[in-house]
Structure 1
């Protein structure tokens, strides 16, 4: 295995393990538990789940892999703080979205050739990418894995 392929495998091993950990945790939490705040005055579990779906949805655009699956989640879970809107999906519906989105992302990720991960993502200009080649698609996976781990730690507090 080439160094490039090894690096990609290492990063995706962590991504896939993080997704699996999140799945395990979500499966252990009831819909009622997801309605609880992580800590007094903080986000609820349902909000964090919707937020993760909305952020991962943005990855499709950032990685130039298609349109968002759930654009309706942008407003309540990215642009608005928790508890400022009552128009959010049920925990059951969000769980379905999460599962579907994880599968779609996996399929798209598996179809990208190793060299494709080192291409620029859509939020960086060609000029900036020439100066900063680390602003590539693989870096999006690294940052989103960290983001997922952060919120997974918060969701653990609901147990």
Structure 2
């Protein structure tokens, strides 16, 4: 087992490594981008990459405190499902109103990879190979789709 400090250090090292690996990748619009802290520029809509003890996930998280508005965002993504699927080239899980990390109600559209651990450096190539093409595909999708959310800002 790792101490809290060791665990935090390992996670920080992984995300730094991933950030350095993906940094040369330009955005869909040809710009430099902070892939780890991707900015959608829409409050309460985030692209999240997470690694737990035995799994990893990447997804779109909608965290608006008003569940009715959260549902409107989710429905807007559903309207764009074919465009999203075309960019991702795979099906993702769609989950309206679940409980998030801090007990808040969130909605997620995500893909999960199980059987990997951030604490096993041998899994890091699998994690990087899982995250990179999907965050790049999300960026490609978002470069066109973000305008569909202007009315919900």
TMscore range, shorter length = 0.3 to 0.5
Larger Rg: 1
Normalized per residue, which structure has more helix? 1
Normalized per residue, which structure has more strand? 2
With normalisation by structure 1, the TM-score equals 0.35
Highest relative contact order (Cα 8 Å, sep 6+), 1 or 2? 1
